[in-house]
Amino acid sequence: MPATLTYPGVYIEELPSGVRTITGVATSLTAFVGRALRGATDEPVTLNSYADFERVFGGLSNDASLSFAVRDFYLNGGSQAIVVRLYRAETGAGAKPAKASLDANGLNLEAATPGAWGNKLRARVDTDVSAEVATALGVASNALFNLTVRDTQTGVEEQFRNVTVAESVRRVDRILTAESQLARVKGALSGSAPTAHVAPAADKTVWTDDNASDPVLAAAQASDGLELNSDAFIGTGKQAAKEGLYALEKIDLFNLLCIPPYKSVAGVANQDVDTTVAGAAAKYCEDRRALLLLDPPSGWTSKATAKTGMADTATNLGTRSKNAAVYFPRIKAANPLRGNQIETFPGCGAVAGVIARTDASRGVWKAPAGLEAGLNGVTALAVPLTDLENGELNPLGLNCLRAMPAAGPVVWGARTLQGDDRLASEWKYLPVRRLALFLEESLYRGTQWVVFEPNDEPLWAQIRLNVGAFMQNLFRQGAFQGTSPREAYLVKCDRETTTQTDINLGIVNILVGFAPLKPAEFVVIKIQQLAGQTQA
């Protein structure tokens, strides 16, 4: 009621309706963790296109299978990726530094992020500054300078005008940290401003004349680092520091996780993932309500080796998690870095793209498999499979990629690693598991308002109203079995679910049940020959 009734008349009061709309979360945000040419390390970066990946992380690299996985993700319908770049520095005698450095006429600079990309940086200093800015900053005009940094490989150029080494709001190290994507000040600032570069020679430009700008000298050049190992992902202290795999703690949500192969086998790079990393990633996905997409080990080169490997996935893959799925075989595609030669690549990125495409067109409850689940950009599969071979692998929980007539390469399986028939798991099918994860995350976020509310029937009625409305909307979209809401789902929150003891402990229990749609894996057509009818 109104706070105080003081005068005769009409008072207006707005009453709450009790409606709090629950919004479904995204279902196909895909995280990629691994090696890249450039970009910040141990920091998740959200990308909306492959052009974003090229701009931020440098594009394709034969040393980074992650780059091809991201390419395949967008080729197959992916819309938003989250990339975490990892870097493992060289160690020992003769090791190259992680970051390239240069001396710009007295101003020591280094590349903003690790990698050999920084070897292409050049810097120029000039003194075409503003006296008014110097007066406003309270420094002498000769203490100001302009700094221009250029990446000669990409042509990206940054200019910072009226900066200084003196204490002020335009101190050059702070300006570079806040605004530059290319360079940082290395070490402590010197007490004097750098000297200006001269004009370039008549037959040269600013960026080709070493007197007009400074390059990275050979002794200060960086490397792209060593091949990643398990410590780069899950080493001691990584989780506490939110680094490696656990850099994903810095983002609010992801639904799919891909760790493209990074480990060499017999001298060939990017062949496998450590089983310890796969196991830790599966556990992390369970904690974050996400799904891990695994590539088969490089040793699975035939139906027989794949079947043997699936006999003990905990040992051979590192996990048997209900939040993980593996797709066999690997894919073959053109490599533009080698004249479009056909090479074998991990398929996790392409499969993630198919899942994202299916979610957008049909919903998370639709199995991301079948003739609609075509693999774009794939020329062939590393191991062609027949129906009978597929029939040996599918009951083991191994999802197969098949080349089908007219349709081409497609995803032809939709099981989790709990999909082995012998396990009789309720989380056998991928769409059932993903729908459950979607419901859990959406309801978790959509019921935060309940915390600290009075725990009695009015609250329970609001919970039933709002959760029921969310489930009803999904039912109308075809997410559940059944021809009526009663058959499709239930929402229960009352004296039966929340007893007086629960109330005394500050607990409210909400029971949500749903009847999931199971994919039609086996279509049986029965044909019968009808005998000619006889006269009675």
The string of pLDDT tens digits covering residues 353-383 is: 999 999 999 999 999 999 999 999 999 999 9
Higher pLDDT, 529 or 498: 498
Higher pLDDT, 93 or 283: 283
The C-alpha atoms of residue 258 and residue 285 are separated, in whole angstroms, by: 11
pLDDT at 304: 96
Quick one: which of 286, 285, 269, 274 has its CA closest to 316?
A: 274
Is the confidence at residue 68, as pLDDT, over 80?
yes
pLDDT at 83: 98
pLDDT at 5: 87
State the pairing for strand pair 81-85/30-34.
parallel
pLDDT digits (tens, 9 = 90+) for 480-503: 999 999 999 999 999 999 999 999
pLDDT at 482: 92
The C-alpha atoms of residue 251 and residue 43 are separated, in whole angstroms, by: 9
Percentage with pLDDT > 70 across the chain: 99
Tell me if the bond preceding 346 is cis, omega within 30° of 0: no
pLDDT digits (tens, 9 = 90+) for 251-262: 999 999 999 999
HEC readout, 2-34: CCCCCCCCCCCCCCCCCCCCCCCCCCCCEEEEE
Judge whether 436 and 474 are in contact, CB under 8 Å: no
What average pLDDT does the segment 217-236 reach? 95
pLDDT at 425: 95
pLDDT at 522: 84
pLDDT digits (tens, 9 = 90+) for 183-192: 999 999 988 8
pLDDT at 529: 85
pLDDT digits (tens, 9 = 90+) for 127-178: 999 899 989 998 888 899 999 999 999 999 999 999 999 999 999 999 999 9
pLDDT band at 534 (very low <50, low <70, confident <90, very high): low
pLDDT at 318: 95
pLDDT digits (tens, 9 = 90+) for 40-50: 999 999 999 99
Higher pLDDT, 401 or 523: 401
pLDDT at 34: 97
Q: In this structure, which long-range contacts are made by residues 306-311, counting pairs with CB atoms below 8 Å and at least 24 apart in sequence? A: 306/383, 306/393, 306/398, 307/392, 307/393, 307/396, 310/393, 310/396, 310/397, 310/398, 310/420, 311/396
Is the confidence at residue 1, as pLDDT, over 60?
no
pLDDT at 93: 86
What average pLDDT does the segment 217-243 reach? 95
What average pLDDT does the segment 516-526 reach? 88
pLDDT at 41: 97
Percentage with pLDDT > 90 across the chain: 88
pLDDT at 444: 96
Name the CATH code of domain 30-88+226-432 (choices 2.40.33.10, 3.40.449.10, 3.40.50.11780, 3.40.50.1220): 3.40.50.11780
The C-alpha atoms of residue 346 and residue 328 are separated, in whole angstroms, by: 10
Question: Residue 255 contacts by C-beta under 8 Å, 6 or more apart in sequence?
Answer: 26, 27, 28, 29, 30, 290, 291, 434, 437
pLDDT digits (tens, 9 = 90+) for 72-131: 999 999 999 999 999 999 988 889 999 999 999 999 999 999 999 999 999 999 999 989
Which residue bears the tokens 């700008």? 213
| DSSP character at residue 214 | E
SS3 359: helix
Q: How many CB atoms lie within 10 A of CB 122?
A: 21
pLDDT at 282: 97
The pTM for the full model equals 0.94
Judge whether 384 and 332 are in contact, CB under 8 Å: no
Q: Where are the domains of the chain?
A: 30-88+226-432, 101-220, 452-536
pLDDT at 533: 64
And the tokens for 6?
A: 């003081």
Average pLDDT, the chain: 94
Which residues in 152-212 belong to E strands, given as ranges?
A: 157-164, 183-185
pLDDT digits (tens, 9 = 90+) for 443-476: 999 999 999 999 999 999 999 999 999 999 999 9
| DSSP character at residue 416 | -
What average pLDDT does the segment 12-26 reach? 88
pLDDT digits (tens, 9 = 90+) for 321-362: 999 999 999 999 999 999 999 999 999 999 999 999 999 999
And the tokens for 186?
A: 């290395």
What average pLDDT does the segment 189-211 reach? 91
And the tokens for 279?
A: 């196991």
pLDDT band at 39 (very low <50, low <70, confident <90, very high): very high
Quick one: which of 356, 518, 281, 469 has its CA closest to 26?
A: 356
C-alpha distances in angstroms, 109 versus 18, 147, 176, 314? Answer: 59, 11, 10, 48
